[in-house]
């Protein structure tokens, strides 16, 4: 027989808290276990792992592709510190830039630069990805183990329930240590008598009413406007000087290497010098002076330009030239013709190839126009590669300009059919050409005769 339900009866004890999994602490950067920014200490506390595991893992990822620096820098920016609700990224966007914010941004920028420099190294990137997966799996397993372990809850359920329902301990009210606008009147001129009820701080419109001056007393003289004390001023901005020094260093680095280096290398030297000055300025601003968001933006732009300069073909030179190669016979043919920047013409119209023979060569132009004139009666096998530009073959109009990136094309040009008196001529052999242009155009034309 079931007992009737008593609404007035107190509710029974809740479920045993020791059987309920304890929720993990919120993700915050640690103040106690802090070596640089407290990111690894906060991760270890959140995922119930030794922070040394995250420090070693992120250190290895930092030197093998820069992923560790990228993760640490952005975690430093977006994860708030213990007992704080505002992160470094919000301070950066509102203009309150300090040393910790600048170092976090510098970590992220250096990591991005290392990662972009390792894009072509598949072995290093594969190792970094595998290590990242291993760290993520270890953190997930540790957190799930803690949530599934009932022993992580409180040992005494009665004490836990009592602590949950107990009222907070009463404390004495704080003793006022300074005058306030709602407790004590503010004496402005030091005299006795009725005084106004002005505010201790705020604009002048906050003052509701000025008390009348007592009779017989002279009106106080107007006070001159107070000048800010130089000792209380904030640190002076150094962003402008850092920018001028970066421009000067970039110009010197590029100018000194302009004649002796290829275009891409010269630009890399100049941009690296400018980026080094920006990084040094950010590091100095953590101790002396200050920089704003503009310096951070210019540093990011410089890093992006450096990445673009590193992608330029190495054969692009800083001198624009016009060159023509015209071998008279197959024996005079060189295995390779190269030009840094400019217009190169390879004239093979006078080349005589035996009917059962073949001739091969290679022509390269870093940036510009490569024009090849092939014999009229030869079979031409073309292998063309254009990084950024266009390819034009015989029969195509000049208006048919097709700009592409990473343009690869293989073509075989058959000789025109002979007619009339030319029917008795023997056909020529095969000409194999490997043509490459970094930025520009490849043009192939047939000789008229």
Q: Give the tens place of pLDDT for each residue, 8-21.
A: 444 444 455 444 55
Mean pLDDT of the chain: 75
Collect all residues with Cβ–Cβ distance below 8 Å to 415 and sequence separation of at least 6.
376, 377, 378, 379, 427, 428
Nearest to 339 by CA among 269, 401, 262: 262
pLDDT of res. 420: 54
Per-residue confidence band for 435, with pLDDT thresholds at 50, 70 and 90: very high
Bridge partners for 440 per DSSP:
368, 389
Bridge partners for 339 per DSSP:
365
pLDDT of res. 209: 44
pLDDT above 60: residue 233: no
Q: Give the tens place of pLDDT for each residue, 169-226.
A: 666 665 555 444 444 454 544 444 444 444 444 444 444 444 455 555 555 555 555 5
Q: Give the tens place of pLDDT for each residue, 273-326.
A: 998 888 888 777 766 766 667 777 888 888 888 877 877 777 787 778 889 998
What's the predicted TM-score (pTM) here?
0.45
Weakest mean pLDDT among 45-49, 146-150, 179-183, 378-382: 179-183
Phi, psi dihedral angles at 29 (to 5 degrees):
-75, 135
pLDDT of res. 344: 92
The dihedral built from the CA positions of residue 122, 317, 380 and 394, taken in this order, carries a sign that is: positive
pLDDT above 60: residue 354: yes
Q: 3-class DSSP state for residue 433?
A: strand
Instruction: Please give the residue that has the higher pLDDT: either 81 or 420.
Output: 81
- Cα of 206 vs its chain's centroid, Å: 47
pLDDT above 80: residue 388: yes
pLDDT above 90: residue 157: no
Tokens of 283: 């590091």
Bridge partners for 321 per DSSP:
342
pLDDT of res. 5: 44
Are 302 and 276 in contact by the 8 Å Cβ rule? The answer is no
């Amino acid at each position: 027989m079931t007992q009737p339900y008593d609404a007035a009866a107190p509710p029974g004890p809740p479920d045993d808290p020791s059987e309920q999994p304890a929720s993990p602490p919120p993700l915050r950067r640690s103040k106690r276990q802090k070596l640089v920014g407290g990111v690894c200490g906060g991760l270890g506390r959140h995922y119930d792992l030794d922070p040394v595991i995250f420090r070693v893992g992120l250190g290895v990822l930092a030197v093998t592709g820069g992923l560790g620096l990228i993760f640490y820098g952005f975690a430093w920016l977006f994860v708030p510190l213990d007992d704080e609700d505002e992160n470094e990224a919000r301070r950066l966007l509102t203009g309150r830039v300090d040393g910790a914010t600048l170092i976090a941004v510098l970590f992220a920028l250096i990591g991005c630069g290392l990662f972009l420099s390792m894009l072509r190294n598949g072995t290093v990137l594969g190792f970094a990805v595998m290590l990242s997966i291993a760290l993520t799996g270890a953190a997930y397993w540790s957190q799930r183990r803690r949530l599934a372990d009932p022993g992580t809850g409180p040992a005494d359920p009665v004490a836990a329930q009592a602590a949950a329902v107990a009222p907070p301990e009463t404390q004495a009210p704080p003793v006022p240590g300074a005058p306030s606008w709602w407790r004590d009147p503010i004496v402005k001129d030091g005299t006795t008598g009725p005084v106004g009820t002005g505010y201790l701080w705020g604009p002048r419109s906050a003052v509701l009413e000025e008390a009348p001056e007592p009779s017989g007393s002279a009106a106080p003289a107007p006070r001159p406007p107070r000048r800010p004390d130089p000792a209380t001023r904030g640190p002076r901005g150094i962003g402008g000087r850092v920018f001028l020094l970066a421009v000067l260093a970039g110009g010197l680095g590029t100018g000194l290497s302009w004649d002796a280096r290829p275009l891409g290398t010269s630009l890399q030297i100049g941009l690296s010098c400018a980026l080094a000055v920006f990084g040094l300025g950010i590091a100095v601003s953590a101790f002396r002076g200050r920089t704003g968001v503009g310096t951070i933006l210019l540093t990011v732009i410089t890093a992006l330009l450096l990445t673009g300069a590193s992608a330029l073909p190495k054969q692009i030179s800083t001198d624009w030239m016009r060159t023509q190669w015209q071998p008279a016979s197959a024996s005079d043919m060189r295995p390779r013709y190269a030009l840094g920047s400019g217009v190169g013409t390879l004239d093979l119209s006078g080349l005589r190839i035996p009917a059962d023979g073949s001739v091969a060569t290679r022509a390269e132009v870093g940036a510009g126009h490569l024009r090849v004139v092939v014999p009229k009666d030869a079979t031409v096998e073309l292998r063309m590669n254009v990084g950024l530009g266009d390819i034009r073959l015989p029969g195509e109009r000049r208006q048919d300009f097709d700009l592409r990136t990473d343009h690869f094309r293989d073509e075989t040009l058959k000789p025109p059919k002979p007619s009339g008196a030319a029917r008795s001529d023997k056909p020529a052999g095969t000409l194999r050409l490997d043509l490459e242009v970094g930025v520009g155009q490849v043009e192939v034309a047939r000789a008229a005769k």
